[in-house]
Structure 1
Amino acid sequence: MASTSLSTALTVVAKPKIRPGVTSDSTLTHIAGILGYTAFFLMAATVIWGILLATRMADRQIRRQTLYGGHLMLTVLALGFAVMHAQVQYFRHDVYYTQSKILLPWLGGAASSISAGILGLEVVVVVTISIWFQHRMNYRRWRWLHWLSYPGFVLIAVHSAVASREQHFGVIWAAMAAVLFVALVLTVMRVLSPAMKQDQPDQWFDVVEEFENGIYRR
């Protein structure tokens, strides 16, 4: 009896520390999945909205201030859900995630499918932060930096498809395929746009207007 108790105690000591929680392992896993899918679709919407903004396809229907505000709002929401998706992993009981495993792709010990999502998110975060410095940067430099959001989104899409535990839901996969197709088509249109071909600044991000004498001036 004593040997059994000693063996049990040694086994408990050898295991990683289990964090206390009020929900079951499966509940936390599904919560993380819901947050992740929400982040993915918001990210896809951000890419699509940004391409519409860049190509000026919707200028006749929607004011550019509204388009720009919508693009920024989608970006903030997508990043918010993505960060929550990542941090929920820290509290799961079935796997042991440290902050280094959540923040450091590959180096932290996460699998390649997870590391792809980490790297993609961090790339998108860098691009988002650059918005606050766009007026201090050369236009071409900022534009090429902003193009990094596309490979960042691709890495996030790979992570969403490979690392998902909800692969039995065909409707989710169909919706993911649909938004990826739309994003791909619009990206091709963006690359083939006259501004891109001629390498001319279209400055779609600079939409601030001044209200003077009852008239908006750009």
Structure 2
Amino acid sequence: MCLTLTWGVLVSTGWFDRLTGRHALRSSHQVFATITLSFAFVHGVSFLILDKDALPLGRVIIPFTGPLRDTFGTLAFEGMLAAAISVGLKRWTNYWRWLWIHRLAYPAFVLGVLHAFFQALARGTLSAVYLGGLTLLIPTVTVTLLRFVPPKALESAGLAEGGP
């Protein structure tokens, strides 16, 4: 999830344009997003087939039917799924509507982080999860925040070069 968001920011800002062609960068972002959605789907389905304490289907796919920590995960998956589906709808809608739907990935990412944090807290595994989580989360949040900083501010800070 962190890699997908970070790579998407790097592709959309053009920071990696010199690395390879734009088509290859976008395709790799789609691959990362597909892997993220696949892992999230398998994660959700695995709770349906547990031998002990299996969850009902409604609790896994319908938000607000269980604890808030589960709702965060459901909404995160559905937001990421909406962003992925919007790529297929790009042809039939205008760019700004598509972009608005695709940007649902940002709040979906936040909901996914909240889901991971509160689930680990509830299960007593936060001490085992926090180091890996912070290692992935801090670079992702930094790159995402830089995405919304005006280019002139990045140039004056020496983080970006001026355009042509």
CA contact (8 A) 2:72 2:114 kept: yes
CA distance in 1, matches of 2:139, 2:97: 27
CA RMSD, aligned part only?
1.4
Q: Which of 139, 142, 151 in structure 1 is aligned with 2:107?
A: 151
Return 5+ residue gaps in structure 2 as ranges.
152-164
CA contact (8 A) 1:120 1:153 kept: yes
**1:8-27 matched pairs, under 5 angstroms:** none
CA distance in 1, matches of 2:69, 2:149: 32
Return 5+ residue gaps in structure 1 as ranges.
1-42, 195-218
- Per the alignment, residue 59 of structure 1 pairs with 17
Three-state SS of the structure 2 residue aligned to 1:95 is coil
TM superposition shift of 1:118: 0.4
TM superposition shift of 1:178: 2.5
CA distance in 2, matches of 1:141, 1:168: 41
Q: Deviations over 1:38-77 (max 9, x none)?
A: xxxxx11000000000110011122212211110001111
CA distance in 1, matches of 2:54, 2:113: 24
CA distance in 1, matches of 2:19, 2:48: 44
**1:131-210 matched pairs, under 5 angstroms:** 131-164=87-120, 165=123, 166-169=125-128, 172-194=129-151
Q: Deviations over 1:90-149 (max 9, x none)?
A: 12233241110110011xx32110111101100110110010111221111111111111
Three-state SS of the structure 2 residue aligned to 1:91 is coil
- The residue type paired with residue 116 of structure 1 is F
CA distance in 2, matches of 1:75, 1:61: 20
Three-state SS of the structure 2 residue aligned to 1:90 is coil
CA distance in 1, matches of 2:147, 2:46: 36
- Per the alignment, residue 210 of structure 1 pairs with none
Q: Which of 86, 107, 128 in structure 2 is aligned with 1:130?
A: 86
**1:47-86 matched pairs, under 5 angstroms:** 47-86=5-44
- The residue type paired with residue 145 of structure 1 is I
CA distance in 2, matches of 1:193, 1:86: 38
CA contact (8 A) 2:7 2:29 kept: yes
CA distance in 2, matches of 1:142, 1:103: 24
CA distance in 2, matches of 1:52, 1:118: 27
Three-state SS of the structure 1 residue aligned to 2:48 is helix
Identity of aligned residues (%): 26
- The residue type paired with residue 100 of structure 1 is G
- Figure out how many residues of one structure are paired with residues of the other and give that number: 148
CA contact (8 A) 1:55 1:193 kept: no
CA distance in 2, matches of 1:127, 1:77: 14
CA distance in 2, matches of 1:125, 1:132: 11
Report which of the two structures shows the higher radius of gyration computed on alpha carbons.
1
User: Greater helix share, 1 or 2?
Assistant: 2
